[in-house]
Chains A and B, each alone.
Chain A
């Protein structure tokens, strides 16, 4: 049984091909302003790696904020359900999932089958989303991938960022920079602020072990480390945290297919 999950987010598009219980291939690409282009490119990239064509796929499920524009998907499932399902596949003991992407952040609770029991979400404000990291990386001219590590290398002391709004925090960070504060000390303040905000979102649904982080933010050690300290739990992170949602979608595709075959 070969299925695929396609996760179209605000900043990246992901596709993953699953054959029975094996991940055959996956792709991760930046979004195109035209969602249909993102869909096509993400799927093509995964198919190419798997040496397959669209016809080889028995069932496709789409998810993410662009999930309605995937023409070859037989079904779409919300990203919250997909992240829980995908996280459960990687870590069967998972009970709390934090998924942070470019434009939103979700704290999800699930049961021992990977089914969602509760969630809280921020999709209104960039201050609690991955986009804030991009804005700061851009401002401080630090590659996004290095930002987390740098935020842990405090030189003098963390520079606290008092503004919530990313637009205001950006001016605040800039004025600290002009006053000669170290970039890493400012980044420490930036990461601390995001981690605090995310932690309070998690507290709204309750935090229970095991705790999985998925989405782009899982690649930011500055956030992961601070969340470890705040929750007192060691977060589990899969080898590619950005495809957890696509994996969940591919797993839903398997379920749908089985149901259809039984019917």
Chain B
């Protein structure tokens, strides 16, 4: 795949499709409380955009376009958000992971939405990390 990055059919298809796939992923992520989907699904679909880009333009180029720091930040998002939301429940007089006491309008909806966005970021980033690392040469060294 990285040796034949220039098939015009694949490149054109991915160029057109990736926008729609990413839009669908973001819709799934942000609309998880009111329609089908949520963090896991949206994250996987967003990661699928990166995977299709890698199939069209080559894994090495795609990996070069990714930012290491941002990918790391996305990967830790869900554990951090989960802990913050859970402890916010404790701080406002409820139990661990209890959302009712949060001093915001519609606390359950927004707490759930925050957790879902974190889950989406972590799932998407982890899949991208797995994909890029498994596709890398087996030498075990760090990528340039």
A binds B: no
Residues of A in contact with B (beta carbons under 8 Å apart): none
Q: Interface on B for A, CB 8 Å cutoff?
A: none
